[in-house]
Chain A
Amino acid sequence: MGHLNKRLLLLPGLALLIYPLLPGASDYVLHVMTLALIYMVLAMGLNIVPGFCGLLDLGYVGFYGIGAYTAGLLTIHYGLSFWLIVPLAALNGALWGALLGAPTLRLTGDYFAIVTFGFSELVVLFLTNEIWLTRGPLGLPGIQPVTLDLSWLRPDWYFEFYDKAPNFYLAALLVALVFFVMGRMEDSRLGRAWYAIREDPLAAACCGVNILHYKVIAFSISAAIGAMGGCFYARWSMFLSPDMFKFWESFLVLCMVVLGGLGNIKGALVGATVLVCLGEVLREVLAAAGLPPETRFMAYGLIMVLIMRFRPAGLFPAIAASGRANPLLVVLGRRIAAGEFSGEKDDARGTSA
């Protein structure tokens, strides 16, 4: 049953991958699909901090913005290739993540949430006000699209990604890469240390996990992935402005992670898809109703509240994530409910009475 389900799920995924090659592919649909892929990268990146480590990060968009502007400025001023910029932007993101995380991650989650929030607001203020560098509210136009220079293989193999389809595949590649890395990290020593910290910091520390160390690593990796997403976004949209990196975006990405289930990588993918599609639908509906497009965030706010109230683990709870959902404990619970241990129960009652 489980295997069949997985195969069935793969089919629509493959169908979507072939879609850009079809003759009647609409540019709008491709655009939305690429946007969904970018948000998938962001959601997977953000997932590390609240999902794996249990810390609320409200400033994720700050790193996205840092990555995007790093890519934009390096492209415009130095004409560097996209393939070189991605690691540079990721490094820059990770650097800021470490700088912000190292002094603040020793605090409890609430304080950390607020610091990240303040940080992302400062990033937006910086991008708006340092006109000599970023052109401020005017934005940064004229960023070259991604190029792929394979002329050392064959002289005419030089591609510029002006079309929607190559960008879509590039984004899909990025998602696949991040997804693979995430999966490996989750199963590694690193991932287990993060889970331990999330479930019980004290117990983790007692087992020799250096909490601050692992939290800073988590935060830096998350920041690096956000910066990578921003890097692709800059080269894809070819225009940047500080307005694109407001708190709303952080909130939206957080909403995706929460919807999919905190700590669940696949859930983050589904959450990103659902909310990007919902955003497009709401854009049409709200415009028809004569309401400003920002009001779609009301729906997002409501989704967050309702999910936390009725399905705190999201649509797809991560199985190994919460102790209560642990298969071993579930089986044990079932056996206790079935009365398999009734003898011991009677004993317990006897001693307490």
Chain B
Amino acid sequence: MDSPPFLRMSGVRKRYGGVTALDGADFEADAGTVHAVLGPNGSGKSTLLKVLTGVVGPDAGEVRLRGEPLRPRGPRDTLAAGVASVYQELSLVEDFTVLDNLLLGVEPTRFGLRDRRAATARALPWLERFAPAFGGRVPVRERVGDLDPGERQVVEVCKALVRDPQVLVLDEATASLRRGQVEVLFEVVTDLRERGVLVLFITHRLAEIFSVCDRATVMRNGTDVATVTVADTPERELVELMSGQPQARSSAAPARQAALRTAPDTAGAAAPAVGADPSAPPRLEVRELTGDRLDGVSLHVRAGEVLGLGGLQGQGQSELMAALFGSGRRTGGTVLLNGAPVRPRSPKQAVRAGFCYVPGNRGGQGLALGRPILENFALPSVGRRAALGVALSRRREVAAARSVAERINTRYGSLDDPVSTLSGGNQQKIVVGKWFPTEPSVVLMDDPAKGIDVGAKAEMFEVVAELAASGAAVIVGSSDDRELVEVCDRVLVMFEGRVVDEVFGDRLTEDTLIASAMHITGADVAAAHSGDAAAELPEPDHDPEARAPGPDHGPEEGGA
């Protein structure tokens, strides 16, 4: 090998509890390039760059910058090595002015005191450069908390630039920017490339990759799949690299695959069987709903139907459910429940109207972990059984809880045991099952299977099917495309606060969902798959039997 690459990461592994985020990823990039890192949700691209910036410590692997090993103990070390990162939101102090934020941690001093003049001299050129992104002004002394989200993101970019980085990491930095702001950013990125800076770029907008990136590394299931030159790679080939082959994915871990197979059998059997009568009037209809991160969402769900909300993470799925459940902001649009407009202003009103909500982090929002199973079952419906609105009969509570537990097939020792004594899967069943007695019209589930194992997941989705069978309309948001394919009758793909695609029937496959999430038209994908179905992957090693379990290709796992 001749001269070492400017940046090389090799064999990087990282596990979070039971979830493998990075599974022996390798990555190389050269100075003076703009290098995109691509991949579907949970492919490990963000984790890879967080390892580089020192926010996440890897379990194994090595990072070399200019041939020198980089073992950061935190962002301080990486910044000193010339790596600066633009974070999506976490690195600004809202109470500080723009100037103070830009120089936080690198304040110039004179006689031991902060030197405002030197600070301004250092920050002002960047702010002036980005003035068009601030609507033509240079907000040196404005409080960051008073800026809008797009402007804060621009401040975040300037903050990284003030540190004169050799490597600039842009992790979804364009997500909250307006078109004009993105243009300014890309001009600057082009300048930086001229000056020999390596720019690493994560984005969910594929078009941006083609307009600014030189190279692209595609990640999938925690490893790097391929690195390509963007100019020589057609869009559809990139999409294909990202989606991969479903067979190749699961066959790497036969045991897990077996577990997975149970999911479509059990959950899938019930949900479409009940099937929503297409002629029936919709149970829930949403028209042009706007609010936080929602830009005119329209949808309808019928009784007995399981509707998925897919797309990349953070495209408004959670906000949509929050708006429906009365805990998020709604600025416009109509919501019709059984044909009548509803506008719950709090979760309590939403529950009364017939909504129920199943969150992803069951400890935080779905369960009182330390309290007995009985109480957790009873909580949402307790008002219905209380005589005169206050008096509770223990016998009636126990009977109600028993009937639900039986219905959702939960195993427990005693109803008086704390919920925390149950397995994750059984806990998750209670999160869902406790809503049965309220006979909900609409069930909202926001990433309900986040962080639980496959078996528990399958069991929980049985309960979802049961709810749908009992006549509820179910909306499931998930960042796991496989899960959506398994449990949903129909999936709406969201992108930047709008529904951009509707996928059902034969089109409802992981590939379609990934392509659709990247905002590629269906025709492109069809072309990609019909054109070279046999040679989906450029690398010859996707036959799992022939593959040695090297550091690059360990067992794969879905979401991070």
Is the pairing of A and B real?
A: no
Q: List residues of A whose CB falls within 8 A of some B CB.
A: none
